[in-house]
Each structure stands twice: as structure tokens, then as C-alpha cells.
Amino acid sequence: MFDPYQKPTGNRYTMTAAFLVVAFIFSPALLILSRPLGYLSVSLALACSSLCAILAWVNWKKYSHLTVPSLETPRARAK
């Protein structure tokens, strides 16, 4: 089960999920809670959401390359 020759599957999705939460939940909620909805607060919220969504996409592309670990043992490869 814990074979040291197997490659990692690359599932580091915690930061991706955190970026998406900030982009689509925290930033709009903060915008709604700040009552005087001016152009500055809307622009800052859109910029923050866009930046977090882009960072989530980059993080997803970087770490979403899943590989299937080899079922073959190193001794079988040597034969």
C-alpha cells in the first residue's frame, strides 16, 4: 500500500478550494455587508474575486495531473 516507488497522485486541492471560497463566497458577502455600494467597493470586490478565481485556476492546472501508480514492483522491472 505504501510503496516508495509509486508516484504521488498530485491532489493538493486545499488552496484551490480556499481561493474559490474567497472568490465566490467571502468577497461577495463582504461587498453586501459594506452598505455604501460605490464604484470603489464594487471594483475592489470584482478585482479580488477575479484574482482569486485566476489563482484557483492556476493552482488547479498545476496540481491536477493525476497519474495512475504503477502496479509493477521494481523487482519485476529488472527481469
Contact 77, 3 (CB under 8 A): no
pLDDT band, very low/low/confident/very high, at 34 (cuts 50, 70, 90)? confident
Count the residues in the chain.
Answer: 79
Query: For residue range 12-21, what is the model confidence (pLDDT) as tens digits?
Result: 688 899 999 9
SS percent in the chain: helix, strand, coil, step 5: 65, 0, 35
Task: Kindly indicate the confidence band of residue 38, based on its pLDDT and cuts at 50, 70 and 90.
Answer: confident
pLDDT at 50: 96
Give the pTM.
Answer: 0.66
User: What pLDDT, in 10s, does the model give residues 54-72?
Assistant: 999 998 888 776 555 555 5
The residue type found at 41 is S
